[in-house]
């Protein structure tokens, strides 16, 4: 029970951190676009690949540094669920911000 809760919390933190990283990148790109420094949409792609690589490296590090979270097959799904909940929360907050008119 403790391992499942810890896995959910760790996954949530990872998902929220990744969502925040994506949000910072989005705002930076919007500022570039407003300033006219953005040449094309393709110039955004390299940064997104690096962010996804950081997410994958973080997940691997968690598996290596916290093996108790992955001692059985059901606990790893709690980590995955936490990532989904954390990232989904960040997306929901971003959607609420956009719908309220505050960019």
Give me 8's structure tokens. Answer: 């959910």
* 7-33 residue pLDDT tens: 889 889 988 998 898 888 888 877 877
- Report the largest interatomic distance among the alpha carbons of the chain, rounded to a whole angstrom: 52
What is the domain range of residue 38? 2-99
- Of the chain, the percentage scoring pLDDT greater than 70 comes to 82
The yes-or-no verdict on residue 45 having pLDDT over 60 is no
Give me 66's structure tokens. Answer: 């916290």
Distance CA 103, CA 33 (A): 14
The count of structural domains within the chain is 1
Annotate 9-36 with DSSP letters as a single string: HHHHHHHHHHHHHHHHHHHHHHHHHHHT
Give the single-character DSSP code of 72: S
Distance CA 83, CA 47 (A): 21
């Amino acid at each position: 029970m403790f391992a499942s809760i810890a896995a959910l919390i760790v996954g949530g933190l990872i998902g929220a951190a990744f969502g925040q990283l994506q949000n910072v990148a989005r705002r930076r790109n919007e500022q570039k676009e407003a300033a006219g420094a953005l040449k094309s949409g393709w110039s955004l792609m390299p940064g997104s690949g690096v962010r996804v690589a950081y997410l994958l490296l973080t997940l691997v590090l968690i598996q290596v540094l916290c093996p108790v979270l992955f001692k059985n097959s059901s606990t790893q799904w709690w980590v995955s669920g936490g990532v989904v909940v954390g990232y989904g929360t960040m997306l929901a907050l971003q959607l609420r911000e956009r719908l309220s008119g505050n960019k």
